[in-house]
Amino acid sequence: MTEHPEAEIYKRQGMGNRAGLGARPALVIVDFVVGFADPAHFGGGNIGPAITETVKLLAHARARGWPVAHTRVVYADDGADAGVFTRKAPSLLKLTETSPLSQIVPELTPTRGEYVVRKQGASGFFGTALAAWLTQRQADTVIVTGCTTSGCVRATVVDAMQHNFRTIVATDCVGDRALAPHEANLFDMGQKYADLMSRAEIEAAT
């Protein structure tokens, strides 16, 4: 990525430093489900290519025995657990447990021992056991992939940092339905919440 034209503002204020990779990474894959892979529903933009790159990073994580968690947005069939989030985006109510749209894309199908987090909000951590699961497995670094960059990825990244995990955004493994919010949120996360690394950089460092 080329340097953002306003990066100097953040540098002057002491932002944009690196937290670095720890010794025990975990991979968190946010909402790469069928509905978000399909532009006719929730997808579009660069989500497809991000899934393709995540397939490679997932293989790397599995080969090294990292903890792996996948998140899904899942609502009750009758919407009984729905909140304000679905007032902003009522189409999310289609993502029920058995809906084809809410199923993890086949190329990222979880294997034995990988945690599938069901959530009703944006963050993979909010109202879930994800932080406890990662802590039990002694993870000190959370590498985040998924979609959308400006939505559930960002919320998950902020919460990962707030749980004191070193947090890495795999830049070519996250995607959004529109590229402008994708780029803006990558920049902002890199200044305040996470380190930005490409898939190749993560693999070379681990």
The catalytic site residues sit at 152
- C-alpha distances (whole Å) from 164 to each of 87, 141, 145, 153 are 31, 9, 18, 17
* Cα gap 117→140, rounded to integer Å: 19
Tokens read off for 80: 């009984």
CA proximity to 183, closest of 3, 31, 29: 3
Backbone angles phi, psi at 157, to 5 degrees: -65, -45
The neighbour count for residue 86, using CB atoms within 10 Å, is 17
